[in-house]
Structure 1
């Protein structure tokens, strides 16, 4: 038996949204998981609701444990704290499985459908999602924090940004120039002048690099249906690859289907959803063209592979999300290599070139716009040992 002996959580002050989970077994193995947002809340959920029932369990019983953790009496709707906790634990259990057998997780799930996956750069820069609270907003006083301050770049010089990405081998990029016009969640209006300002970035990218790069538009679930439709229709001439999360309620299958029927821009949905049932409902309603999931929010690999199976059954391309942390990136990559309909893996080159490498022992290898299949067992990376030794690290353990 591979008995669970300790569940450990680790948080760092400068990454207040991130939490890592280590699951130790009596074999001497340590599995790594991660989740994002509400880190202290997730920590409480893990140690109060999850870990006491895991100590002494056989870590090989992944499906049984996932069933218990993703069907709590309360908390199972979208990516709740309970489901984020379950996601981190599940990823750690799959990491253990791969390590135990000496194979990557994509092989443990049944093998790879490809030896590499195309990546796209989300132009988040260095600080978009790193601090607690609201995302970074660009103002006139902001200066570039480094060569990959891509959020500043798409606001001020999208043409040069696109050229830079093409020169590095990227064939796809994602930007969000409409966010600044959403004055509230579920914004119900955007003026023609604002639409024209937002569209200008796509126009300048096309003028600079033509069709050498795909461009996605992220709408961050900020809009109601009428405003989102106006934005989508304005983007149609620029051959946008997809519009992502256009509505403030991405579990509203009917509203999303109605939007999709009224625009030629493909719809991508949604990193915000938790569990296969939510995706089933969108697919049944004809609400999406691309299926996006985040393994640290939707229930981990156990639920994620079921969502990938739905994408395959409905002939929909799959695109794992990561704009959050290095473990989420490795998890998405492992699924993207395995899932038959996967087409893209999200990366943030600013994160890859800086703080991701400060946290974990290995990073994915990116070559000519593709992420190569990791060859190491399990996830393919581990938390750097010195992270837990830091005096400011918040480390909490539940053990036998």
Structure 2
């Protein structure tokens, strides 16, 4: 038995959307997990609902823990605070498995399908989506200036062609941008005007003019649009050879609406980081509503549920691509699954965060060579929260023992 003796949560005000979960066993091992969005709510779920049940149990029984924590009571649908808490716990338990046996998590999952995997750069800024408790994404205005060489969200609005050249010079062969977001508010996402549509297309045109077909472009729509508006955007993007259009409609678990959109456009549809559990993915794939399966391990139920989703992608012969625009631990977990999953094609990264605050928080991060993330070799997830993080002035540490 590997008895769970302590459960810790750590939050810091500077990154108000992140909550880390550490699980300690009587073997003196510590497993690390991560949740994103609603960090205070996740913290309360962990201490008020999960810890009283989990303390004293065998950390090796991951499937049993996952099933119990994802039982379908009120609040347990999709990526709720309960599911995000369960996701962080699950990551930590898999981290423990790897550490206990001296193997990386991808080996514990069943072994690697590849030695490395292609990455694409999500063109965000340095603090994108991590600092505000409300989770609002940064919107770029006319007066915004670059805050550093990798302030890529400003860059794709100002000169997307130069940004593409910069990425290619560093070995990145794919990039993701979201120039349509700012036009959704005018009509609540129900429609998009022709002038706004043309303005949103400009970065894609600049990229193709600057670098031709040497870089893949992913278009992110952030679930901001109605089916009608999404169709108009998708059809307009057909001329630019986009690799996928991600989360085009407001309800990404609406299989009928998404399948209808997919029939009406030739651009590949990708989804969805927003979904929790394997069932919505099963329904979307059965409805022929997706071309690419994307999953966020901090929102879907962790690695246990994530590998079920990867298996569904394989069963339906669909490419698989783990999400990360959130935190460093979820990124490492996603990379392990991408190395393991047979149909995985990409791991998302953000070079702005990889080069700045991710290394300030954790001890290990993906090694990227020539646009490909290498398979982690260290035991477990291959990363740990730096000890000083829990002792920062802006840190909130809660400990449950039993």
* 1:208 alignment counterpart: 210
Structure 2: runs of 5+ lacking an equivalent? none
Q: What is the CA distance between 1:184 and its match in structure 2?
A: 6.5
Deviations 1:64-113 (A, max 9, x none): 00000011422221100100000000000000000000000000010000
* 1:78 alignment counterpart: 78
In the aligned structure 1, how far is the partner of 2:278 from the partner of 2:191?
Answer: 32
In the aligned structure 1, how far is the partner of 2:167 from the partner of 2:269?
Answer: 24
Deviations 1:237-264 (A, max 9, x none): 1000000000001010000000000001
* 1:44 alignment counterpart: 44
- TM-score with structure 2 setting the length: 0.98
Residue number among 148, 153, 156 corresponding to 2:155 in the alignment: 153
* 1:59 alignment counterpart: 59
Distance 1:213 1:338, change over 3 A: same
* 1:253 alignment counterpart: 255
Deviations 1:321-379 (A, max 9, x none): 00000001001000000000000000000000000000001111000000001100000
Q: Residues 1-400 of structure 1: matches in 2 within 5 Å?
A: 1-132=1-132, 133=134, 134-183=136-185, 187-400=189-402
In the aligned structure 1, how far is the partner of 2:306 from the partner of 2:188?
Answer: 28
Structure 1: runs of 5+ lacking an equivalent? none
Deviations 1:100-136 (A, max 9, x none): 0000000001000000000000000112212222110
In the aligned structure 2, how far is the partner of 1:184 from the partner of 1:292?
Answer: 28
Q: What is the CA distance between 1:186 and its match in structure 2?
A: 5.4
Q: What is the CA distance between 1:61 and its match in structure 2?
A: 0.4
In the aligned structure 2, how far is the partner of 1:256 from the partner of 1:80?
Answer: 22
Contact 2:262 / 2:268 at 8 angstroms: preserved in 1?
yes
In the aligned structure 2, how far is the partner of 1:193 from the partner of 1:5?
Answer: 60
Distance 1:174 1:34, change over 3 A: same
Q: What is the CA distance between 1:185 and its match in structure 2?
A: 8.8
Contact 1:184 / 1:222 at 8 angstroms: preserved in 2?
no
In the aligned structure 2, how far is the partner of 1:124 from the partner of 1:52?
Answer: 38
In the aligned structure 2, how far is the partner of 1:185 from the partner of 1:244?
Answer: 20
Number of matched pairs: 400
SS in structure 2 at match of 1:2: coil
In the aligned structure 2, how far is the partner of 1:137 from the partner of 1:241?
Answer: 24
The runs of at least 4 consecutive aligned structure 1 residues that moved more than 4 Å come to: none
In the aligned structure 1, how far is the partner of 2:131 from the partner of 2:11?
Answer: 13
Q: What is the CA distance between 1:299 and its match in structure 2?
A: 0.3
In the aligned structure 1, how far is the partner of 2:355 from the partner of 2:251?
Answer: 34
